[in-house]
Amino acid sequence: MDIGSKDVDLKMTNKEQSNNKAERVILTTNPSITALDQHQWNMMVPEDDPSLQYEFLRALEDSGSCISETGWAPCHIAASIDGQLIGGAPCYLKNHSYGEFVFDWAWANAYERAGMSYYPKLLIAVPFTPVSGARIISHPDHDSAAIRSHIAGALPTIAEKLKVSSVHCIFCNTKDLDALTSNNFVAREGRQFHWHNPGYQNFDDFLGALSSKKRKNIIRERRRVKDQGIQLTWVDGPDITTQHKNLLYACYQNTIREHGSYAYLTSFFFENLIQALPNSVQMLVASKDNKDLACGFFLRGKNTLYGRYWGALEHVTDLH
């Protein structure tokens, strides 16, 4: 959908190309990430966020995990100048609030009590990913603040054209938050626990920074795992086999069943993702007597390791 065009004052960050003239920016919404150029989209993605990569978003669509039938209809926002992407946002038309890790059921109920429909709503997000980061992205050679402001300012118009009740942007960074609140969006705060490495050289350095009680508990738990004969092996993306993929999805499904949740992701998602981004995925496999029992699935950014999915085929004390 063509949202329209507007002259926007954009400055090139490359000083040799710097200019102060207004550029005509065209905004569109797109029913699939495949409607956009892969290279141009990835040029806008921060190096440390693999879940924003074109390949990740396409794997969600191609696997049937994020399509209109599952309540996640792609509606990606793109800002372009002369056919070249300069900004964008991963966006979905939602007819439910599942898979967001943010709970707005009270708002939906209030809409219904008032005789209005809360769905569809427009959601700017990386599906099923409660990881904070950029949500409005931009080309590194352009004025990112101006692009964020332009897209944020256009969201009410987009909402009106799409006939949605509201627009939501979840797990955004502070720059996106500032752009949105400057355009009359209301901030809602949540709390997460993040671990940062202040410079530990090894695991013993980490243990040495803890209190005696915590240090003893961790050492005891790790010893219990070892005493049960459990071996842990890291598997890089290019080395992930069909056997590993089967283990991963079986563990994922088992975790879903144990927590009474819903398996939003299909096995094809993991297969497509591993094939498309082999250098951005890793698995940690737990085995005993050459039998795989559990695993974790990770995404790798430039400086960050994102633990995303984990599970076990049978209970192992303290394996977590």
16 has a pLDDT exceeding 60: no
Per DSSP, 142 falls in state: S
Query: What's the mean per-residue pLDDT of the chain?
Result: 92
At residue 5, the pLDDT reads 55
pLDDT above 70 (res 73) = yes
Least confident of 92-96, 159-163, 186-190: 186-190
The highest-level CATH class for domain 2-181 is alpha beta
What's the pLDDT at 4? 56
**Would you say residue 111 has pLDDT above 50?**
yes
What CA–CA distance (Å, rounded) separates 71 from 206? 43
Strand partners, 87: 79, 138
Confidence of residue 30 (pLDDT cuts 50, 70, 90): very high
- Over residues 199-257, the pLDDT tens digits come to 999 999 999 999 999 999 999 999 999 999 999 999 999 999 999 999 999 999 999 99
- The residues pairing with 80 across neighbouring beta strands, listed in sequence order, are 26, 85
For the stretch 275-311, pLDDT in tens is 999 999 999 999 999 999 999 999 999 999 999 999 9
Query: Is 6 a residue whose pLDDT tops 80?
Result: no
- Residue 58: per-residue pLDDT: 98
**179 with 146: CB under 8 angstroms?**
no
Q: H or E stretch including 118? A: none
Instruction: Give the span between the Cα atoms of 247 and 170, in whole angstroms.
Output: 31
What are phi and psi for residue 163, nearest 5 degrees?
Answer: 60, 50
pLDDT at position 86 is 97
195 pLDDT band, cuts 50/70/90, is confident
Token pair in block for residue 170: 């979840």
> In this predicted model, which residue has the larger pLDDT, 190 or 276?
276
Question: In the chain, what are the domain boundaries?
Answer: 2-181, 210-312
Confidence of residue 15 (pLDDT cuts 50, 70, 90): very low
Within 8 A by CB and 6+ apart from 217, the residues are: none
Task: Give the Cα separation of 194 and 292 in Å (integer).
Answer: 29
CA atoms within 13 A on the CB side of 131: 22
Closest CA to 9 of 111, 186, 117, 149: 149
Looking at domain 210-312, which of 3.40.630.30, 1.25.40.10, 3.90.700.10, 1.10.260.40 is its CATH number? Answer: 3.40.630.30
End-to-end distance of the chain based on CA atoms, in angstroms? 46
Determine the average pLDDT of the residues in 172-191: 94
**pLDDT for 220:** 95
Q: Same fold for the domain at 2-181 and the one at 210-312?
A: yes
Name the residue among 260, 272, 298, 267 with its Cα closest to residue 129.
298
